[in-house]
Amino acid sequence: MIFRQLFENDSSTYTYLLACEQTGECVLLDPVIDTAERDLQVIQDLGLQLTYTLETHIHADHLTGARKLRALSGSRIAVPKMDEIACADIGVQEGEAFRVGNIELRPLFTPGHTDTHHAYLLDNGMQQVLFSGDALLIEACGRTDFQSGDAHTLYYTINNKFFSLPDETLVYPAHDYEGRQITTIGQEKNRNPRLGQQTTEDEFVAIMDNLNLPYPRKIDFAVPGNRDCGRCPNNVPSEYLGPCDIAEVMPEQKTRVGDQG
Amino acid sequence: MIFRQLFENDSSTYTYLLACEQTGECVLLDPVIDTAERDLQVIQDLGLQLTYTLETHIHADHLTGARKLRALSGSRIAVPKMDEIACADIGVQEGEAFRVGNIELRPLFTPGHTDTHHAYLLDNGMQQVLFSGDALLIEACGRTDFQSGDAHTLYYTINNKFFSLPDETLVYPAHDYEGRQITTIGQEKNRNPRLGQQTTEDEFVAIMDNLNLPYPRKIDFAVPGNRDCGRCPNNVPSEYLGPCDIAEVMPEQKTRVGDQG
């Protein structure tokens, strides 16, 4: 297997590249529209073919690169089936392995940050590897105060779906804002200030209710755009138009930019 | 492969269990005398046979469990060849793979914390895995102010032997004092306050020269004891005699305890 942990600066998103060395197929987990070309360059440099993009959830902090990557490379768009996203090519769900060449990802239904969030579990032969999306972050977790978030549900997800995994399980989150790259289930049980084994559900909900986080600056266009596989919607502010630079991704904006020019 | 990250509380040491599922053979990396029985219980519960113990270096903060484990299980003692430890069964060195069943560990000569320190590199099929011993710790590194430590040498080791590995390389250290379990080469490049890419050799040496760490409380018996594969030497204080509870490990102490009783 070939593995790369790629980073998108503006939203501090980790995009994961998983490739099957035998077939040359690969998947990008949670690609960002801003770094679509960078991701394809990495894939090309490795002599691989992008087979799929795969989402953990409908992101509010960035536009997915799924549609742009499909336009540029012919990749197929995979999303959680329960999202019912019409533009996607394939739906994934818990209980059905998602295969890319000889790589097998096990989708885990892990709601709480959003109500259709999925994480993905892989066995690398040495330990389990969890791509935890926004559900579990390093010494943190995804916020639960917008979209379909619910702190009670996230508490259940982390304690039952994640903390039942072996302590040695590697955890690769979808974001980190302090340059950290990895954690383990054991480390989060020990150190996560919101979710250590001593935190009750009520305490967790109180913590999440009092985070006082700012309104997500991209949410108003990111959520509808991501429901359309990363099409830049009409209400995208001009400073975010840069990544929307191909017609297939943003036909409306191409027209609008033309009108402005 | 079966993998376990085990912890010894008194010296905050991580002992790593690596087992070949095909043959049932396994190795304990840096076992501690205090937790020898615990380690064997884990191995027995997994249906494995302890084939080897393997050391990264001659520890100053704990007695190795190597001799005790050999007495209890028939395991063989592997150490860096250049340590010239007479009681060991096998010496390892850079350039010669160390195999346990189908597991292959690549010894890396990584002096600085001690002048014969070795780390071990493994390819798990997804990423490289570095067992960094005391050379590189999470946001820290081993001290260089006793035994044969040298800060200039450790700077060279980390920058040349470790930071030349891929950023995704997993790093499992021999110690952590804050409950952290894992890091990566990329994360340490970004975050290690002593060893980020911007730290010059002179700055690093100055940092190491000014740590003002306390004298290691076990060093006076641990170093000679570990040079003898973890035999409790005559000068072990009575509060540390507990783990030295079998005749093969401490014939002198058995006599002495008898004299006292």
Q: Give A124's contacts in chain B (Cβ within 8 Å).
A: 124-127
Per-residue pLDDT, B75: 98
Determine whether the interchain pair B126/A3 forms a contact, defined as Cβ–Cβ distance below 8 Å: yes
**CATH number for position A166:** 3.60.15.10
Neighbours of A109 (CB within 10 A): 16
The one-letter amino acid code at A68 reads K
Contact present, B42 and B28 (Cβ < 8 Å): no
Per-residue pLDDT, B259: 34
Per-residue pLDDT, B254: 44
Q: Where are the beta strands (DSSP E) in A160-260?
A: 170-173, 183-184
Contact present, B183 and B173 (Cβ < 8 Å): yes
Residue partners of A44: CB distance under 8 A and separation at least 6: none
pLDDT at A125 over 50: yes
Strand partners, A49: A25
- The residue range of the domain holding A205 is 2-260
Strand partners, A5: A16
Determine whether the interchain pair A181/B181 forms a contact, defined as Cβ–Cβ distance below 8 Å: no
Contact present, A11 and A218 (Cβ < 8 Å): yes
Rounded Cα distance between B187 and B207, Å, is 20
- Where does the pLDDT of residue A251 fall: very low under 50, low under 70, confident under 90, or very high at 90 and above? low
Closest CA to B122 of B12, B19, B14, B45: B19
Rounded Cα distance between B111 and B104, Å, is 22
Rounded Cα distance between A248 and A159, Å, is 41
Q: Which two tokens stand for residue B258?
A: 């008898």
Closest CA to B249 of B237, B233, B236: B233
What would you report as the CA-atom Rg of chain A, rounded to the nearest whole angstrom?
18
Q: What is the pTM (predicted TM-score) of this model?
A: 0.93
Distance from CA of A261 to the nearest CA of B (A): 42
The one-letter amino acid code at B24 reads G
- Quickly tell me which residue has 């799924």 as its tokens: A66
pLDDT at B253 over 50: no
pLDDT at A62 over 60: yes
Contact present, B110 and B126 (Cβ < 8 Å): no
Mean pLDDT of chain A: 93
Rounded Cα distance between B63 and A60, Å, is 52
**A4, A124, A182 ranked by CB distance to B125: nearest:** A124
For chain A, how many structural domains are there in total? Answer: 1
pLDDT at A192 over 70: yes
**B168, B182, B191 ranked by CB distance to A3: nearest:** B168
